[in-house]
Amino acid sequence: MNNSRRWDHCLIYKIIEPGSSVLDLGCGSGELLARLVKKKQVCGQAVEADPARVAEAICNGVDVYQKDMDLGLSDFKSGAFDYVILEKTLQVLYQPMVVLEEMLRIGKSCIVTFPNFNYRGVVDKLMETGRMPVTGALPYQWYETPNIHLFTLLDFLAWVDEHEVEIIDSYAWSNNSSRPLDLPADSREAEEMLFVLQK
């Protein structure tokens, strides 16, 4: 879990240009954005719904606007940020694709990361045991998972295709390392993905 969390932080840190403006949606305790503000001099704004995490993020030195993304992102103007980031959150949202479309409106580029439900580690576990898999990227029992919209890499690519969204960059986390996405193999091999999108 910690390794895979670090992998997308590392990549995002590399991707983001110094001095750019960044909106981090669902920032948690704000570690990533704090680092970007400090080390890459970005102009950062975070959004987080949970008051305890908002407080934590303010204490970590980032500007956080408390808001439940599922209630809409109309508070942000079109093209207001160079980057909009959404890490491992798509699958917990009530309206994931509305949020993704909003991200594409607000950001010149969007960075999303999410787990692939078709990863062989997940599917094999399901097939072998007949029980909902608990893995590094999906670390919850079925009754406590916040993940309400589980989807696969190919589901996501189909959506991207239908909505004429441009993929600028794509990476996979597989076998405890990150690398550029390799299709079709990664449909089964990638545990998590990172996409840079534009519209």
| Contacting positions for other proteins (CB under 8 A) | 21, 37, 43-45, 51, 54-55, 58-61, 63-66, 75-77, 80
Distance, CA of 98 to chain centre? 15
CB of 56 vs other proteins, minimal distance in Å: 9
Q: How far is it, in rounded angstroms, from Cα 113 to Cα 106?
A: 17
Sign of CA dihedral 53, 147, 32, 24: negative
CA-based end-to-end distance of the chain: 31
Question: Is residue 121 within 8 Å of residue 115, measured between CB atoms?
Answer: no
CB of 136 vs other proteins, minimal distance in Å: 32
Q: 117 — alpha (psi -120 to 50), left (phi > 0) or beta?
A: alpha
**Cβ closer to other proteins: 57 or 172?**
57
Question: Is residue 77 within 8 Å of residue 102, measured between CB atoms?
Answer: no
CB of 110 vs other proteins, minimal distance in Å: 18
**Cβ closer to other proteins: 1 or 52?**
52
Rounded to 5 degrees, φ, ψ at 8 are: -75, -35
CB of 30 vs other proteins, minimal distance in Å: 11
CB of 77 vs other proteins, minimal distance in Å: 6
**Cβ closer to other proteins: 80 or 98?**
80
**Cβ closer to other proteins: 75 or 166?**
75
**Cβ closer to other proteins: 51 or 146?**
51
Rounded to 5 degrees, φ, ψ at 29 are: -85, 5
